[in-house]
Amino acid sequence: MAYILLYVDDIILIASSHDLRKSFMALLELEFSMKDLILLSYFLCITFTSHTGGLFLSQSTYASEIIARIGMAWCNPSTTQVDTKQKLSSSPGTPCADGTLYRSLAGAFQHLTVV
């Protein structure tokens, strides 16, 4: 049994045996220019760690990168993430000067929760 995950120009090939993996790689190399990295470590913001029972998948590195990008790597955790006493107002406030960072973070957090 073999599984292939293809994303743009990256391929993950998982096979039930080493011989099957090698023969499948040989067939793919006839059609495509490829480099076999052998061990999978980081793909699509997911860290892969190999264990005797299989693979452990984690997004902790990606989550840490997001937190560092917004300058909150050294912040202390809080039990409540939002000011519960803050009241919303119907009057317009000061708009965000540049929404690029906000949109980028919204997309990063969406990727973190969907993947």
Which residues of the chain have a pLDDT value below 50? Answer: none
pLDDT in tens, 9-42: 888 888 899 899 999 999 989 998 888 887 888 8
Domain ranges of the chain: 1-37, 39-73+101-115
pLDDT at 90 (0 to 100): 67
Indicate the pTM of the whole model: 0.61
**How far, in Å, CA of 25 to CA of 115, rounded?**
27
pLDDT at 115 (0 to 100): 61
How open is the CA angle 76-57-51, to the nearest 5 degrees? 115
